[in-house]
Amino acid sequence: MLDLLLLILVVPAVLPLVGLLVVVIRLSGSPAFFVQDRVGRQGRIFQFWKLRTMVVDAEQRLERYLTDHPDARAEWDTYQKLSHDPRITRVGHLLRRTSLDEIPQLWNVLRGDMSLVGPRPMLPQQQPLYPGVAYSTLRPGLTGSWQVGQRHTSTFADRARYDDQYAAELSFWTDLRILAATVRVVLQGRGR
């Protein structure tokens, strides 16, 4: 119910913003949206939506970059992200820093694939790297404990600890606390 209530409140403000961002991304020469398979509750695969922040051939560029840069390969294998990712576009850096690239996931929330708060959705190929069990029992979230905690300094496997803690503390008040912390993180522009 919290998801639907908040969606009703934010959609009128969000739609014009998404329209503007789509135009900006398209002017940079890229398709505006990025759709990717992610793992949902009980292992169900769903289509995950984001505003495009990377070049179109990002996966191929990543493989070439990791092959040419062993230090980046080690960082990728540990964190499943890079501190200096060569695939991110100029517009993409701004979108990521402000987390505006995540707004289309409100569609995933409306469809029931995701919730506003929960574990961040992972790629199917990341499942073997995830040591926890709470993820499969929860609906993935637009934001969550890991997002407002140590998302840029923790390993990918550490996400399981955040997800287990969230599952143990699951409540309306926990979700409100995480949503409030998310607003603070977004306003600080701490995304990457």
Q: Mark whether 112 and 75 lie in a shared domain.
A: no
Average pLDDT, the chain: 90
- Domain of 76 in residue numbering reads as 57-87
Confidence category of residue 152, pLDDT binned at 50, 70, 90: low
What confidence score (pLDDT) does residue 25 get?
Answer: 94
Q: Mark whether 140 and 98 lie in a shared domain.
A: yes
Q: Mark whether 140 and 65 lie in a shared domain.
A: no
**CB neighbour burial string for 36-52, b if at least 16 within 10 angstroms, e if fewer:** eebbbbeeeebebbbbb
Q: Mark whether 73 and 61 lie in a shared domain.
A: yes
33-39 and 45-51 as β-strands: parallel, antiparallel, unpaired? antiparallel
- Domain count across the chain: 2
Residue 192 lies in a domain: no
CA 92 distance to own-chain centroid: 14
Q: Mark whether 174 and 79 lie in a shared domain.
A: no
Q: pLDDT: is 18 or 28 the higher one?
A: 18
